[in-house]
Amino acid sequence: MFDSFLQYLTFEKRYSLHTIEAYSNDLQQFTSFLEIENEKELLAVNHSTVRSWIVALIDAGKTNKSVNRKLASLRTYYKWLRKEGVLDHSPLAKIQGPKNEKRLPVFARENDLAIDKIGDFFTSGFEGVRDRLMFELFYQTGIRLSELIGLKESDYSNGQIKVLGKRNKERIIPISKDLSYSIQAYIHIKKSHTAQSDYLFVLTNGNKLYPTFVYRKINHYLSLATNLDKKSPHVLRHTFATHMLNRGSGLETLKDLLGHANLAATQVYTHNSFAQLTSIYSQAHPRGGHKR
């Protein structure tokens, strides 16, 4: 039954391999907790059983976010069983997960990423030019790590890049003239330093990049530029979104640029922007920084 469900996620829902592995692990953990040995026992699960699993997960130190993600896997599975006509009622119908902790996205300050400050971090050779372009694409477009790795030379055209996002959804992102020139210059250097590859970003041997490699590179350069505790490609995505809002971008526009499915995912950045507005008000208004 699980195998059919995972095939459904793969071919109908078009979930990523990472997401499918997470769903599979969550379901296996659930069946192990209940010591389920056959499908009949799995179909007999009720809401009390699910609640006991939630309690066990929290007692084991799982965060609310982690618990809710596992519940989402379980909900999707039982929803699929109903769709297939195997069940007429989901045991999760009465289940509410714990409230997620609200944590604001980590982002860098504009001054930290000023071109005249970070320019000296990168060398003039192939690797330095590639690394700088990766850094700038993350910061200037807000693309995800997986989206950057998947970029091909054909996805770039003057003034824009085509990105394949979650669930194979394409979006077009406009880029600046300077960034466009940087891509052209990099492609020219790439042709003389590596083996031929359709992918835009490659290793020195011409092979496609992998996530750990990109993470290490961005972590290194952010360490040079900022004092942030968290330093990853996603921090640059958060930084892009926050700086866009701080400079007047609308939520709908930002939603489309980031490839979010709905505004709820984009609205988290308004908290950071409000903090920026508060800071500007305190500094700029004659009475903003005075207490009565």
Catalytic amino acids?
A: 144, 166, 234, 237, 260, 269
CB atoms within 10 A of CB 228: 16
* Residue 219 neighbours by CB under 8 Å, 6+ apart: 231, 232
Q: In DSSP terms, which residues pair with 156 in a beta bridge?
A: 161
* Residue 288 neighbours by CB under 8 Å, 6+ apart: 281, 282
The radius of gyration computed from the CA coordinates of the chain, to the nearest angstrom, equals 23
Q: How far is CA 136 from the centre of its chain?
A: 17
- The packing angle between helices 126-141 and 233-246, to 10°, is 50
156-157/170-174 β-pairing: unpaired
SS (HEC) of 12-71: CCCCCHHHHHHHHHHHHHHHHHHCCCCHHHHHCCCHHHHHHHHHHHHHCCCCHHHHHHHH
Q: How far apart are CA 92 and CA 51, in angstroms?
A: 9
Q: How far apart are CA 188 and CA 223, in angstroms?
A: 29
Q: How far apart are CA 84 and CA 5, in angstroms?
A: 10
Among 32, 31, 98, residue whose Cα is nearest residue 67: 98
